Structure 1
Amino acid sequence: MSAEQPTLPPVRLPADAELARDALAAPLLARAVRLARWAGPETRVGAGGELVDEQLQDAVDVLGLTVEADGEDAGEGVGSFEDTEAYEEAVEEAEILAADAWRLAVDTGLVAVEDGADDETPGGAGPGENLALVTDGSPQDVLAIWLDGFDAVFADAVVPVLDDLDTIVGEDGEIDLASLDWDPEMEGEFLEGVLGNLYLLTVSEGGPGDGPVPLPALAASMVVPDDMGEPTDDVLEQVSDAMMRLDEQFRLLEAIGLVEYQPVDEALMAEEGEEPAAPLDDEDVSRYGMVRLTTLGLYGVRARMLDAGVDAPAVGDLADKGADALLGGIAGYPEAAARAETAAWLSGREVETAARELLHAARGADAGSPLRRLHCQQALSLVGAEAEPAVREVLDDAELGGLARVWLAERGAADVPAPSESMVFWLAIDTIAAQLDADGDLQEVQELIEGLTGRHSGFFEAAWRVEHPATGEVLEAMGRLHRDKTAAKEARKAAFKARSRSGS
């Protein structure tokens, strides 16, 4: 009976203006914007568009990352140090942050560069076309820049860390990719899958919502087969390897504002030459890393999904569409999301006209029609007495008359005609069919079934005669779900009669 449903539950996103503010506050993009505003006639770049060494130090100063030799911490995110080695590490970290920000500024069009010919002939740089959009563009312009930045960081994240370049650089000076045992397409698909799983966990009912997800669980979701019971040692080793890769990748993605990430506790890292220990202690699970998608991250991952052709709806997508699209579209939505989508659709519409459109769209004898009528009833519960003229128009409608009477009675309306017995039983069958399609709480469906049969003596003798396309299926379901054995047997007999009568 169920209609086709979206691949993913709908996500709730704030307005583009709020997302754009979050984008500009992302540390990496904020630093890229500062460098783009600094770039000018004196800026010099190398053959690949990177800042030359002396200019890189200037960029460090512009970003406030300067490390003072006396040990004072003068910069953003640079810790204090007590010896020469710590000082050199702090300087290197500051230069990496500045170089990453410059590269992002180039990748996102915030900076325009003219590459140098060689080390002796540097090129120049200046503000790019997109820099003006940061202040003068629309929120959508800012988000487009951020998405370009996300793409660039994603590409960096799937590149392996090259600890020893000497071992992979050939005699011709080129990097031997074959020696890396690295498949860029496979690495990209792995990270896409991880972000997809994190997205699904975040938007699903019963998931962590805004809470963080343990890194071991996320890694296991990509490695451990669904039908595997106790993971083998080999699988646990693969989970640990995946965790270490994700630890590096999430550190990068956090800088662009995609995630909030609590890294793996360094004390848990394996000693050189040892395999990482498998994360099995639930009490210490947070030490193995915790990650959550930010609101901006939800926006970014959804954008990539949409580009890939994935059905990833957002609350508000249906607000400007017709009533038929609304009632059909929310068929697979969780209750809270369906209510929010409906409220957005009703907002700004004239109540009587909207009610009339909803009732018209709820008609039908197709498999999805009972659920449409249920959602129509729920939508009408959000409107006031202004809808009454439209509701009264369908009192004599075989499919909508029962629904209309319920709505009027709940509001204490006068002159509500009593329903015929056939209308009462048709509405009962339709309501149960809708609840079965909605895949709601089993206990609630059982209580609905038992309540209906308890209020109407001889329910099944009348129900099998109901001219509704779902009568047979509903009675079969009642036979399975009714907790009274006698009533369940009567339901199964009634289902057989209904199918025999209809010839199905």
Structure 2
Amino acid sequence: MSAEPHATLPPVRLPSDAELARDALGAPLFARAVRLARWAGPDTRVDIGGELVAAQLPEAAAALGFDAADEEGAVLASQAWRVAVDTGLVDVTEPDDDDGEEESGTAVPGEDLALVTGGAPGEVLDLWLAALDTVLADASVPDLDGLVDALDAGGEIDFDQLDWNPRREADFLDGVLANLYLLTVAERGAPDGPVPLPVLAASMVIPQDMSEPTDAVLEQVSDAMMRLDEQFRQLEPIGLVEFRPVDEALMAETDDEELAAGSAAGAADDEDVSRYGMVRLTPLGLYGIRARMLEAGVTAPAVGELADKGADALLDAVSGYPEGAAQAEIEQWLTGRELPAAVAELLAAARGADEGGPLRRLRCQQALAPAGPEAEPAVRAVLDDPELGGLARVWLSERGAADVPAPDGAMVFWLTVDTIAAQLAADGETAELPLLMESLTAHHTGFFDQVWRVEHPATAYVLEAMGRLHPDKKAAKEARKAAFKARSRQS
């Protein structure tokens, strides 16, 4: 799959392999392939390439429950047979045409068919991934009528006339699916609402530095949207996506220029954006696209992968996760561990004066939030720790614990710097951050006269941010002065 080999994506939350395998077996196209594999027998005849001979397509369609005379049923049977052959559900012996005689090859159920009912979930998913490869390859092929028109005198495809580059088409579809995967996992790590088709098309066509798309670019977006409409129709039966196609009535009502403008804008002014098409990766689809990304060398983590790692690996990893995914990963890590020992390990891993230290401590605090009384001894053990003492006092105070020692001024200032540094690292300069800054500094007279002396590696950085963001202009000016002193002191 086309992707940056060293890219790192947000973690995805996936169901168990058993649940995914059930989804795979229930995907209409895969289920049809399995039925045809069971139908194959001594009388089954195939052409070169393993395709069913034309005379057998009506019988195959009938085996799938379609009317033998229905042309659409024959098409669906042909697709399912191709999947069955490509996945090993069917073994074919192609005809030997060396003697020049018209003979047919044969087909029988393959050894892998037994995995459908007797294999482990992972083996079923491997079969489904092979089926997905076949469907993706088919979805990258243009309309067959265009292929016929592009045949030259020798029966070969004239790609120049067709204006079709197989590698380019496959890369385009891979890019679309990668963007859809990223849109899905960026917020929640699991399927949520569908994505408008125009958004996907625009993400592939409009350059990031283009503020106002030209008419030519808008037309490209419209063309891409219609191409994706056809491709997602082909991808839905394998269980990759849930798809609502472009409303045919909309296309009849709208000329090409209006459709292009509406699609590129994401149909923002349309009361029903769904008329432009909506698509959503299923949990099985997320699994499939992630598997292809991993094969391409992309770092695509899944929630739960850190369950058997140490607390240091956990906190380092979840420091880069969205909050919801970080919480889910932490909860899975804590499951099955003895809480007192796990809390002690988390606190030890949260230490450090490196750049990632503040965010590790924030994630540690997040991990400790649901912990009960069993965690108190381990938390009290770090009350005198210069880096963890403030965190421990906050945790104990929130639970109404007795005998919590008051922090000295140095610890208060250090904790303030650490907290703001962690928020900057986690979310950047959000709209809520100025309010946090005001809250943390409001109750300390002469805060900026003292904070610049704090022995924290992020002191100057935090003060510079406060100088930009603090809602009180006087305080912001004092923060800028304090930042200058902190920088000079560090020099």
TM superposition score normalised by structure 1: 0.89
Greater displacement, 339-348 / 286-295: 286-295
Greater displacement, 115-124 / 304-313: 115-124
TM-superposed deviation, 1:125: 1.0
**Residues in 1 aligned to 2:191 and 2:145: alpha-carbon distance in whole angstroms:** 37
Amino acid at match of 2:220: Q
**Residues in 2 aligned to 1:111 and 1:166: alpha-carbon distance in whole angstroms:** 29
Could you give the per-residue CA deviations for residues 271-327 of structure 1, whole angstroms, max 9, x where no partner exists?
Answer: 9x9888425252353222221111111111111112112222222122221111111
Secondary structure in structure 1 of the residue aligned to 2:243: strand
Residue 403 of structure 1: aligned partner: 391
Residue 180 of structure 2: aligned partner: 198
Contact 1:6 1:332 in 2 (8 A): no
Residue 308 of structure 1: aligned partner: 296
**Residues in 2 aligned to 1:403 and 1:375: alpha-carbon distance in whole angstroms:** 11
Secondary structure in structure 2 of the residue aligned to 1:170: coil
Residue 189 of structure 1: aligned partner: 171
Contact 1:352 1:389 in 2 (8 A): yes
Give the root-mean-square deviation of aligned CA atoms.
2.2
Amino acid at match of 1:218: L
**Residues in 2 aligned to 1:116 and 1:186: alpha-carbon distance in whole angstroms:** 33
**Residues in 1 aligned to 2:273 and 2:415: alpha-carbon distance in whole angstroms:** 51
Contact 1:26 1:255 in 2 (8 A): yes
TM-superposed deviation, 1:227: 2.5
Residue 3 of structure 2: aligned partner: none
Distance 1:267 1:117, change over 3 A: farther
Residue 229 of structure 1: aligned partner: 211
TM-superposed deviation, 1:439: 1.4
Residue 419 of structure 2: aligned partner: 431
TM-superposed deviation, 1:170: 3.1
Secondary structure in structure 2 of the residue aligned to 1:261: strand
**Residues in 2 aligned to 1:97 and 1:294: alpha-carbon distance in whole angstroms:** 22
Distance 1:26 1:174, change over 3 A: same
Amino acid at match of 2:122: Q
Greater displacement, 115-124 / 424-433: 115-124
Secondary structure in structure 2 of the residue aligned to 1:464: helix
Residue 248 of structure 1: aligned partner: 230
**Residues in 1 aligned to 2:478 and 2:146: alpha-carbon distance in whole angstroms:** 76
TM-superposed deviation, 1:217: 2.1
TM-superposed deviation, 1:416: 2.3
Distance 1:117 1:174, change over 3 A: farther
- Find 1:488's aligned residue among 470, 473, 476: 476
TM-superposed deviation, 1:196: 1.4
Secondary structure in structure 2 of the residue aligned to 1:10: coil
Contact 2:10 2:189 in 1 (8 A): no
Secondary structure in structure 2 of the residue aligned to 1:150: helix
Contact 1:56 1:95 in 2 (8 A): yes
Contact 1:201 1:207 in 2 (8 A): no
- Find 1:112's aligned residue among 87, 91, 95: 91
Residue 421 of structure 1: aligned partner: 409
Residue 58 of structure 1: aligned partner: 59
- Find 1:389's aligned residue among 370, 373, 377: 377
TM-superposed deviation, 1:268: 4.2
Residue 329 of structure 1: aligned partner: 317
Contact 2:11 2:321 in 1 (8 A): yes
Residue 239 of structure 1: aligned partner: 221
- Find 1:174's aligned residue among 156, 169, 177: 156
What stretches of structure 2 of length at least 5 have no aligned partner? 1-5
Secondary structure in structure 2 of the residue aligned to 1:443: coil
- Find 1:103's aligned residue among 67, 82, 100: 82
**Residues in 2 aligned to 1:180 and 1:120: alpha-carbon distance in whole angstroms:** 32
TM-superposed deviation, 1:269: 4.2
TM-superposed deviation, 1:363: 0.8
Distance 1:51 1:265, change over 3 A: same
Equivalences, count = 476
Amino acid at match of 2:319: A
Residue 367 of structure 2: aligned partner: 379
What stretches of structure 1 of length at least 5 have no aligned partner? 69-90
**Residues in 2 aligned to 1:296 and 1:427: alpha-carbon distance in whole angstroms:** 44
Contact 1:46 1:117 in 2 (8 A): no
Secondary structure in structure 1 of the residue aligned to 2:144: coil
Secondary structure in structure 2 of the residue aligned to 1:278: helix
Greater displacement, 477-486 / 439-448: 439-448
Is 1:10 equivalent to 2:11 in the alignment?
yes
Could you give the per-residue CA deviations for residues 419-459 of structure 1, whole angstroms, max 9, x where no partner exists?
Answer: 22211211111111111111157233212211121111111
Could you give the per-residue CA deviations for residues 391-421 of structure 1, whole angstroms, max 9, x where no partner exists?
Answer: 2222221111111122222222233222222
Contact 2:410 2:454 in 1 (8 A): yes
Amino acid at match of 2:475: A
Residue 271 of structure 2: aligned partner: 283
Residue 87 of structure 1: aligned partner: none
Amino acid at match of 2:42: P
Distance 1:303 1:432, change over 3 A: same
Amino acid at match of 1:470: A
TM superposition score normalised by structure 2: 0.92
Residue 76 of structure 1: aligned partner: none
**Residues in 1 aligned to 2:234 and 2:143: alpha-carbon distance in whole angstroms:** 12
**Residues in 2 aligned to 1:329 and 1:434: alpha-carbon distance in whole angstroms:** 15
Residue 121 of structure 1: aligned partner: 103
Secondary structure in structure 2 of the residue aligned to 1:332: coil
Is 1:37 equivalent to 2:38 in the alignment?
yes
Could you give the per-residue CA deviations for residues 108-137 of structure 1, whole angstroms, max 9, x where no partner exists?
Answer: 111111111247211111111211111111
TM-superposed deviation, 1:485: 1.1
Could you give the per-residue CA deviations for residues 462-498 of structure 1, whole angstroms, max 9, x where no partner exists?
Answer: 2111111111111111111111111111111111111
**Residues in 2 aligned to 1:155 and 1:55: alpha-carbon distance in whole angstroms:** 24
Contact 1:240 1:276 in 2 (8 A): no
Distance 1:451 1:207, change over 3 A: same
- Find 1:93's aligned residue among 72, 85, 96: 72
Is 1:319 equivalent to 2:301 in the alignment?
no
Distance 1:176 1:51, change over 3 A: same
**Residues in 2 aligned to 1:6 and 1:341: alpha-carbon distance in whole angstroms:** 20
Contact 2:59 2:68 in 1 (8 A): no
Contact 2:85 2:92 in 1 (8 A): yes
Contact 2:135 2:234 in 1 (8 A): yes
Greater displacement, 176-185 / 96-105: 176-185
Stretches of 4+ moved more than 6 A in 1?
Answer: 273-276
**Residues in 2 aligned to 1:362 and 1:250: alpha-carbon distance in whole angstroms:** 45
